[in-house]
């Protein structure tokens, strides 16, 4: 394993990676760091091509030492689908959709759960707990069951109903809570007071990002070790966006990519847009969003802990942040399904609305190669679609 330590992007403190850890003492999330020189000696892009079609193909850039702890259901290496008919409809004929709907548990949360659970098990955790908007809880409960860990999950009553059943079937202790994800977090406080329970809330442990960053490696590898012009990401806690930015930085440091950067775009709903508001105001931090509500439930995160990291990634890449409303999301979901025959999740459809608007504003030009993340399967959202 080439993991060397954890470091704090806020205050620069470093930590030994050999123990279970949550936040830095300054309150910032911690990030995993690797000996990239050693990684570069151990593997090349050409050697990766022959490996299995899962995220574990990037084994040297992942934080699990012992193969016995690798907990997998075949997650990762999702297709990067050209969508020229819908693309032409919105003036972006080179549009691509990375379809995370094909992943075990039906959302890309499985990436973070596979890597996070594997590492937690390796470091001795026996019981994990988290608040969730649904998909993360379903994924972590599923991988915890596979690894033999106990899971306690709290989710808002408004989360997609199937995610509750996924938790129950995986044997998790499930708390269904009135309110939003912050209320679910409060409901878990008594459980987390037990030092034997490991808190795996969004960005409160460093390895979920490591699973989600593999989307960045895959996009680049699938494009023949090149970057697209822009990547549009439906942003809740922002783990995927932070992860993709980290993956691109690692690949550049490895010398596997040139200096060209894709512009990273955070897509939110007009019903919950703390990052968009902070980006537009030029602020370093995002203020909590009151009365959050959107059909794109996975991005209903009124107070993201990783706000600074998200805003840094947008600004460092010449990216932007944009909010779209529920009516547009549903209209684009339908316009896309009619032309491309794929049922997106509302969060993925929000990125199409954003692509359409950014093209209409001239922020994207007609030749741009744009990658939209469809972060889950539309099949999880029967209630919302009805
Ligand atoms: C969780 C989730 C998101 C947002 O992911 P973050 O990493 O929290 O920003 C987007 N789409 C779906 C379907 C999700 O479940
Ligand atoms: Zn710190």
Centre of ligand 2 to C-alpha 32, Å, is: 13
pLDDT of amino acid 21: 97
Q: What is the DSSP track for 228-275?
A: -SEEEEE-SS-HHHHHHHHHHHHHHHHTSS-S--PEEEEEEETTB-HH
User: Which protein residue has the closest C-alpha to ligand 1 atom 7?
Assistant: 239
For residue 63, give every residue at least 6 positions away whose Cβ sits within 8 Å of its Cβ, in sequence order, or none: 1, 3, 17, 32, 115, 119, 207, 210
Residue 45 lies in a domain: no
Nearest CA to ligand 1 atom 4: 236
Q: How far is the CA of 146 from the centre of ligand 2 (A)?
A: 33
Reported as a single tens digit per residue, the pLDDT across 234-268 is 999 999 999 999 999 999 999 999 889 999 999 99
Cross-strand pairs, 31: 7
245 assigned to some structural domain: yes
Could you tell me which of 369, 136, 140 has the C-alpha nearest to residue 239? 136
Question: Which of 113, 135, 309 is the best mutation target for the ligand 1 pocket, counting ligand atoms within 8 Å of the beta carbon and taking the most?
Answer: 135
pLDDT value at position 96? 98
308 in a structural domain: yes
pLDDT the model gives residue 234 = 98
Ligand nearest to the CA of 25: 2
pLDDT in tens, 127-147: 999 999 999 999 999 999 999
**Inside any domain, residue 74:** no
The answer as to whether 127 is a domain residue is no
- pLDDT < 70 positions in the chain: none
Say if 274 falls within a structural domain: yes
In this prediction the pTM is 0.97
Q: Is 25:200 a contact under the CB 8 Å cutoff?
A: no
- Supply the CATH number for residue 221's domain: 3.40.50.1100
Question: What is the residue with the minimal CA distance to atom 1 of ligand 1?
Answer: 298
Q: Which ligand is in closest contact with the Cα of 7?
A: 2
Q: Which spans in 56-108 are helix H?
A: 84-89
For residue 286, is it within any domain? yes
Closest-lying ligand to the alpha carbon of 29? Answer: 2
Asked whether residue 299 is assigned to any structural domain, the reply reads yes
Structural contact between residues 136 and 112, judged by C-beta atoms closer than 8 angstroms: yes
Pocket probe mutation, ligand 1, options 247, 347, 373, max atoms within 8 Å of Cβ: 347
Residue whose token pair is 């980006």: 279
| Ligand 2 centroid from CA 286, angstroms | 18
Ligand 1 test: best mutation among 78, 102, 108, most atoms within 8 Å of CB?
Answer: 108
Residues enclosing ligand 1, CB less than 6 A? Answer: 107, 109, 135-136, 202, 234-240, 298-299, 345, 347, 375-376
Please tell me the distance between residue 241's alpha carbon and the centre of ligand 1 in angstroms.
10
> Phi and psi at residue 277, in whole multiples of 5°?
-65, -45
The CA 43 to ligand 1 mean position distance, Å, reads 31
**Total number of domains in the chain:** 1
Contact 259, 252 (CB under 8 A): yes
Which residue among 29, 100, 107 is best mutated to probe the pocket of ligand 1, counting the most ligand atoms within 8 A of its Cβ?
Answer: 107
The residue range of the domain holding 93 is 80-107+208-385
């Amino acid at each position: 394993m080439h993991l060397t330590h954890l470091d704090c992007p806020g205050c620069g403190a470093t930590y030994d990676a050999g123990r279970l850890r949550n936040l830095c003492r300054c309150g910032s999330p911690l990030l995993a760091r690797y000996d990239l020189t050693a990684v570069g000696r151990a593997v090349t892009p050409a050697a990766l091509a022959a490996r299995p079609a899962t995220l574990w193909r990037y084994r040297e850039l992942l934080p699990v030492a012992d193969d016995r702890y690798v907990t997998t259901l075949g997650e990762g290496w999702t297709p990067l689908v050209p969508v020229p008919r819908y693309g032409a409809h919105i003036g972006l004929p080179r549009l691509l959709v990375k379809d995370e709907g094909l992943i075990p548990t039906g959302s890309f949360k499985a990436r973070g759960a596979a890597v996070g659970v594997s590492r937690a098990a390796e470091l001795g955790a026996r019981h994990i707990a988290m608040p969730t908007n649904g998909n993360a809880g379903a994924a972590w409960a599923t991988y915890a069951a596979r690894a033999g860990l106990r899971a306690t999950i709290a989710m808002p009553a408004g989360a997609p109903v199937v995610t509750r059943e996924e938790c129950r079937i995986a044997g998790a202790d499930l708390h269904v809570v009135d309110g939003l994800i912050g209320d679910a977090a409060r409901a878990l406080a008594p459980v987390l007071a037990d030092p034997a329970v490991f808190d795996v809330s969004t960005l409160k442990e460093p390895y979920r990002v490591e699973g989600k960053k593999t989307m960045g490696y895959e996009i680049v590898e699938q494009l023949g070790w090149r970057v697209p012009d822009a990547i549009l990401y439906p942003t809740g806690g922002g783990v995927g966006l932070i992860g993709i930015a980290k993956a691109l930085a690692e690949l550049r440091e490895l010398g596997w990519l040139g200096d060209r950067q894709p512009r990273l775009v955070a897509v939110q709903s007009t019903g919950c847009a703390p990052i968009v508001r902070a980006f537009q105001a030029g602020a370093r931090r995002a203020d909590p969003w009151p009365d959050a509500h959107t059909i794109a439930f996975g991005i209903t995160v009124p107070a993201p802990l990783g706000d600074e990291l998200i805003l840094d990634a947008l600004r460092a890449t010449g990216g932007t942040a944009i909010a779209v409303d529920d009516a547009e999301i549903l209209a684009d979901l339908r316009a896309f399904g009619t032309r491309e025959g794929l049922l997106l999740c509302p969060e993925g459809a929000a990125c199409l609305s954003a692509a359409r608007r950014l093209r209409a504003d001239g922020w994207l030009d007609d030749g741009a190669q744009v990658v939209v993340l469809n972060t889950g399967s539309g099949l999880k959202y029967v209630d919302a679609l009805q």
